[in-house]
Structure 1
């Protein structure tokens, strides 16, 4: 068993407490931390958590528990100071995305984790689904030869779908596209080199900042990714991972993932279409620990065994996904100018 504490019990943190942590049998919770008395009271009353396991500060929890893992589920701006303190206290850490608000902060935390000999993981939960796992395996096997072009579409209409973060800076690129950017790197097993990005805010939009964008991203092996996404699209809703068409020399791989919306859900889908032939759907194996349970189970396994699995989203690995976010924002601020990833990543 991996003994853990959770820091951050707000709206999303409570979701972790209720829906994620109980489903990972190797996790033993020994503490819950939040400065809000209402938040700690909620886990006590709604989840039956012993009040003795609830603490108002991280340092207090550290004194009274023997946890080895910190599950950090706070607002983004709190990630850096809290994760840093967790590492200083000797915890292994899993933190929600986005990892940090700057590359410099991320690099500092990665270096600190290495110095402390601890595991630092970012919960990129979209990796832990049948379709992207299968797509990554197909690309690794060069199923249809060299990859040429990838097209990704993500469509949602925030005003009619319960979206509420109208004043969030970069609601598309920083909050949503981080998932798609991370999947690009994971599935292609490649790193981006440069990109051109434009964002905009449609007339009548309740968003204070740009909810729509388009980008062309060049990867080191020559693959070009065309990415279109919006929180203000009135067309058919896509699955959360978007709709992917991956074009290679001898055929295409079509896939979608995380298809749930308003109490309706559908399976992940992967379809192969060899050049000049009809599309063939693949039967996908179920994932034992999907989505967020997959990320939590992954770090628990690494702590227990010391073995890092393929596709593990370490803090160091996630710097590449964070760099894609920051570079796309920078390019958009320049009116879509081609911008090198190295300018941001260093």
Structure 2
């Protein structure tokens, strides 16, 4: 098969392994360069994966010397803006790890540059490509429970990482909540309007920064999304996918993050006079997917180039998930509700 995608991989740490393996498995894709600020890391990746390609410490040089058309940005979050803008300006599409960027102004700039150049920038949101969340989304979108009014997500884990997360100011919101917030947008099919967030560090926490948060979002469809999360909750852990409850006009949809989602809706027939009505359970059927999680997301990214469309996790969409994180941090800092459209506009004006 003809090589359509000439890929430079930026960032050769452990997270890059999945990206490199995926690219190697595609007949239409060739890895033409590896970039890392420590070139020995890039060379180690080449040796480990059996790649016969040059290594670099500079993304611009790598693109210029290899004729790359696509950059995988698997660098640390602080480098995402620099890598992405450099790659797009040199004519490459960019597929990158989350987050889009570290600040709202940098996120806005990447989206604007992508739109001006016509180059795709897509963000890895692997949890969207879980057959169970696809089924949960369809359960809601099909109107099974009627118009949703409330979306709730509980995320409680006692995660003993050690290392940099233990020293972060806001480890939960900055490093993990983007996944749950993006899931909420996908499940509800709605974008955030406002947020009030209380962030704190409860007794027993081994984190230096706030490892627990409660967020209340007003959403564009009129529903309310409530996030309750902790990374220092010992005992009775939820799934990493969170535990979800969506209430609507006619019933409730449930996904515990482990099994298959389902709904309970008001049973047919006359129930006049009943204090608590009878309900009937609606099961879901999981969709068939060739690939899931990281590989499923990458499938969609590559398919978008082939089909001339935006990927599901295009930067112009993903920016709203990032806005949920950054606006929540702003709300926690000020103690005030934050209007997200105003927050995004103010960042764009800077």
Instruction: Provide TM-score, normalisation by structure 1.
Output: 0.89
| 23-32 or 188-197: bigger deviation | 23-32
Runs of 4+ in 1 over 4 A off after TM superposition: 23-26, 161-164
Answer yes or no: is the 8 Å Cα contact 2:60–2:87 preserved in 1.
no
In the alignment, which of 264, 269, 279 is matched to residue 260 of structure 2?
Answer: 269
Cross-structure match for 1:30: 32
Q: Shift of the alpha carbon at 1:23?
A: 4.9
1:245 aligned partner: 245
What is the correspondence of 1:276-287 to structure 2 with a 5 Å cutoff? Answer: 276-287=278-289
CA-to-aligned-CA distance 1:212-237 (integer Å, 9 cap, x gap): 11111111222111211110011322
CA RMSD of aligned residues (A): 2.0
CA contact (8 A) 2:8 2:35 kept: yes
Q: Is the 8 A contact 1:24 1:296 kept in 2?
A: no
Q: Give the 5 Å matches for 1:166-205.
A: 166-205=166-205
Answer yes or no: is the 8 Å Cα contact 2:149–2:248 preserved in 1. yes
Counterpart CA distance in 1 for 2:339 and 2:64 is 46
Q: Secondary structure at the match of 1:196?
A: strand
Structure 2 equivalent of residue 119 of structure 1: 120
2:213 corresponding residue in structure 1: 213
Q: Secondary structure at the match of 1:98?
A: coil
CA distance in 1, matches of 2:35, 2:50: 15
Change (3 A) 1:100 1:164: closer
How far, CA to CA, are the matches of 1:239 and 1:163 in structure 2? 23
Which residue pairs with 1:263 in the alignment? Answer: none
Q: 1:343 aligns to what? A: 342
Deviations 1:24-47 (A, max 9, x none): 554332221112133113213322
Give the match's secondary structure for 1:3: strand
Alpha-carbon spacing, 1:23–1:231, altered in 2? closer, same or farther (3 Å): farther
Residue 300 (1) aligns with residue 302 (2): yes
Structure 1 unaligned regions, length at least 5: 260-267
Contact 1:26/1:297, CA 8 A, preserved across alignment: no
Q: 1:74-97, CA deviations, whole angstroms, 9 ceiling, x for partnerless residues? A: 100100011110011100011111
- Contact kept in structure 1, 2:148 and 2:249, CA below 8 Å: yes
Partner SS, residue 165 of structure 1? helix
Q: Secondary structure at the match of 2:15?
A: helix
Instruction: Indicate how the Cα distance of structure 1 residues 278 and 145 shifts in structure 2: closer, same or farther if over 3 A, else same.
Output: closer
- In structure 1, what is the equivalent of residue 272 of structure 2? none
Cα distance in 2 for partners of 1:147, 1:25 equals 43
SS across alignment from 1:333: helix
Q: Within 1, Cα distance between the matches of 2:127 and 2:29? A: 21
Separation in 2 of the partners of 1:23 and 1:48? Answer: 13
Alpha-carbon displacement from aligned partner over 1:170-222 (angstroms, at most 9, x marks no partner)? 21112111111111112211111112111111234221211111111111222
What is the DSSP-based 3-state SS (H/G/I as helix, E as strand, rest coil) of the residue aligned with 1:94? strand
- Distance across 2 between alignment mates of 1:24 and 1:229: 38
Q: How far is the alpha carbon of 1:139 from its aligned partner? A: 2.3
Distance in 1 (CA, whole Å) between partners of 2:146 and 2:282 is 17
Q: Which residue of 2 aligns with 1:11?
A: 14
Cα distance in 2 for residues equivalent to 1:126 and 1:26: 25
The offset of 1:101, in angstroms, is: 1.2
Q: State the 1:162 CA deviation.
A: 6.4
Per-residue deviation at 1:291? 1.1
| 1:111 alignment partner, SS class | helix
Greater mean alpha carbon deviation, residues 275-284 or residues 101-110: 275-284
Partner Cα separation in structure 2 for residue 26 and residue 124 of structure 1: 23
Runs (5+) with no aligned partner, structure 2:
267-277, 346-350
Match of 2:348 in 1: none
Q: Which structure has the larger Rg over C-alpha atoms?
A: 2
Structure 2 CA distance for partners of 1:288 and 1:210, relative to 1, 3 Å? same
Q: Which deviates more, 288-297 or 177-186?
A: 288-297
